[in-house]
A and B are shown apart, each in its own frame.
Chain A
Amino acid sequence: MPQTLYEKYGGFKTISRIVMTFYEMALDSDQIGDYFADVDMPRLIDHQTKFISSLMGGPASFSDDRLEAVHRALGISHADFDEMAALLSEALADHGVGATDVGLVLEAIEGKRGIIVARSAA
């Protein structure tokens, strides 16, 4: 089996740091922070932990249906999505993920654009 990014970067001990950094960045961001403001902290962390783990090929199952259900009502725009991708790539780079691998994760996220961004925001 090919090694996943999750394994390559040392498993959960690195992922947890990436999640923590991303969590702070996302809340601080004036572009997307407000989406998270009213979410219960444990739920938000749970969501982001699973999301980032599954993007990196870790032990999470985050189905597209679930992802869509969580974001459907939020009316997320393409600009929001781009900001999220930018913050995540920054968080990844901060924790030593190589540029090529950051590219891979961004590609994986790009694949989810259609289900995260609200349809009316096309």
Chain B
Amino acid sequence: MSLAAINEQLLRAIGVGVAVVRASDLTFVFHNQPFAEWFGTPGPGATLPEVMEALDPEELGQQQGEGLRYSAELQIKLKRRTLVFAVNISSADQPEEQLLVVECQNITRMRELESMIDSYSTMVERNTRELEREKERVERLLLNLMPRSVYEEFKTFGVVTPQLYPQISVVMLDFVDFTDFAARTDPTITLGELNDIFTAFDRIVEQYGCERIKTIGDAYLAVAGMPEPTPDHATAVAHCATRFLRYLERRNESHQHTWRARIGLGTGAAVGSVVGIQKYVYDVFGPAVNLASRLQVFAKPMHIVAPETMKAALSEEFHVSDIGPTEIKGLGAVDLVSVGSELSAPQAARRY
């Protein structure tokens, strides 16, 4: 078999559509089987643009003049299905006459798969975004239950190691006659008011770098000095305490229901940890917490009571007056002080 015969055999057998046309009038010299299947068998005297209707004859003409290769992507419908072809036309100079070789690769499947990948990635990306949002929602929820640093530890290790903080301060607030109030008021209103007030407290607490630990019914507990240690934990809780009272005073002026609170401060050591496996609660335990909760009981309505040990730290920024030794259940005699308004506060309300 001669080389030319082999070449012709090859052109007929390959899966690429091949046609050879005369450059002069674009009539066919040769076409193979795949070409005929896709574009139909060219009749006698048919030209390339007649057979491949999607081909732009003008564009082809331009390219031809410059003797360049022509490449295009063509779409045809064959029995409802969209077929996509990459068409290459190049000129082949023969001694007798100039010919154009038309090569058509079927890239339908490639384009179909590309479409499918697009479709799939859209689905997956949307799902990923939804998951991301869900994760943020869970994270926000967990951050309401525990301080960020504790949450980070929890996320990384799956557990939180109880940690002892030797020097922290605690503010504990409890409303006067709350039980009475709750008994004679619609629970929805009680809760609405409480929610309102505690939300305001949360903002105050955040402003002074403290951490709200929990509310138990009408009691509100916040700490300073944990999980991030700060040297001014005592003044931080005292600032919160005075602001809590000032907020309530202001609120009482314009609201129907009057809220009065007692506040106890405490200082000392405490342990912070997540308690529970299924129902996580970040909680604090220790003498500082006990102290604040006991002293709160001793406070007159709308007053703040602190142990004498905090006096030195507080007297620089607050009006502090001595109450004297008081017998406290479980703690024995404790020297107490009353914490008044901030020294620098412009509108110093007289509380004692």
Which residues of A are in contact with B by a Cβ distance under 8 Å? 12, 16, 19-20, 23-24, 27-28, 33-34, 36-37, 40-42, 45-46, 49-50, 53, 58-61
Contacts and interface: CB of A to CB of B under 8 A. Distances in A.
Contact of B112 (A45, A58, A61): A45
Given A28-B80, A41-B111, A49-B123, 11 more contacts: A12-B120, A23-B112, A33-B79, A34-B80, A37-B77, A41-B84, A45-B115, A50-B123, A53-B120, A58-B123, A59-B123
Contacts of B81: 24, 27
A28 B119 contact: no
A49 B119 contact: yes
9 contacts: A27-B79, A27-B80, A27-B81, A34-B80, A36-B80, A41-B82, A46-B118, A49-B116, A60-B123
B127 interface: yes
Interface string B76-117: 010111101000000000000000000000000001110110
Contacts, number: 55
Contacts of B126: 59, 61
B349 interface: no
Majority SS of interface residues in chain A? Answer: helix
- Which 4 pairs between the two chains have the least Cβ-Cβ distance? A42-B115, A37-B80, A46-B119, A41-B82
Given A24-B81, A59-B127, A42 B118 contact: yes
B124 interface: yes
A72 B91 CA distance: 51
B120 to A, nearest CB: 6
Contact of A53 (B84, B111, B112, B123): B123
Contacts of B82: 40-41
A58 B81 CA distance: 27
A104 to B, nearest CB: 21
B170 to A, nearest CB: 43
